[in-house]
Amino acid sequence: MTVINFENIALTDAERQPCEVWTRVMGYHRPVSEFNRGKKSEYYSRKCFTESKAVLHIDNSSESCACAAE
């Protein structure tokens, strides 16, 4: 069995594989690299959704919510 020590692996920028980021826009997927400046700016200012944070927010805010009494 061969053991690979990943700590000693170092790549130069020329050896790295570029990663293309795609996102869903208006119902279809498109690479971010093809966006115009305004759409790229909008994309990079987005905040990532985290389900655990959303659930915690719902749990903490349900006590003061007016609709929770209904």
Where are the chain's structural domains?
Answer: 19-64
The helix/strand/coil state of 25 is: strand
Residue 63 clears pLDDT 90, i.e. is over it: no
Residue 24 has phi, psi (to 5 degrees) of -90, 125
Q: Tell me which of 32 and 52 has the higher pLDDT.
A: 32
Handedness of CA 32, 35, 39, 44 (dihedral sign): positive
Span 44-56, mean pLDDT? Answer: 80
